[in-house]
Homo-oligomer: A and B are copies of this chain.
């Protein structure tokens, strides 16, 4: 499976099109290079891009864990799914992101792709810088989480 890492700058053009970095596109499985699923992140001002396969697995996971006849569960499902949409990748390797989503993440021009292993986050560049932890905080909290076991 693909392992997306790193962060790559990109620019949205006037039409709201954004080039998917080739290094990411190449990691998409054969036959999954036509489109992605995009979803608004509920916690942060960013969009999450899922390869089809990853998205499908996520959906399957939902179906398994959520009860079809439980209305709370269905509300959760609906809300999760409703903030998502398919993104077609054009012949140049770009995706068109609708204005409203770009606005939601505060993206003007400069955006940033950030690898998150099985998926990709898309941030407004400035917003990402702001929400990064200071390296001290980061190191401390990560160490706590990982139980001080050889993380670094």
Contacts and interface: CB of A to CB of B under 8 A. Distances in A.
Contact of A77 (B37, B43, B81, B117): B117
B135 A65 contact: no
Nearest to A131: B75
A132 B42 CA distance: 12
* A: contact size bracket: 35 or more
A94 to B, nearest CB: 18
Stoichiometry, copies per complex: 2
A116 B77 contact: yes
Interface in A97-150: 114-117, 121, 131-133, 135, 138-139, 141-142, 145-147, 149
A76 B114 contact: no
Contacts of A149: 61
A130 B136 CA distance: 21
Interface of A: 3-7, 23, 37, 41-44, 48, 58-59, 61-63, 65-66, 71-86, 114-117, 121, 131-133, 135, 138-139, 141-142, 145-147, 149, 151-152
Listed from nearest, the 5 A-B pairs whose CB atoms lie closest are A43-B71, A6-B85, A7-B82, A42-B135, A5-B84
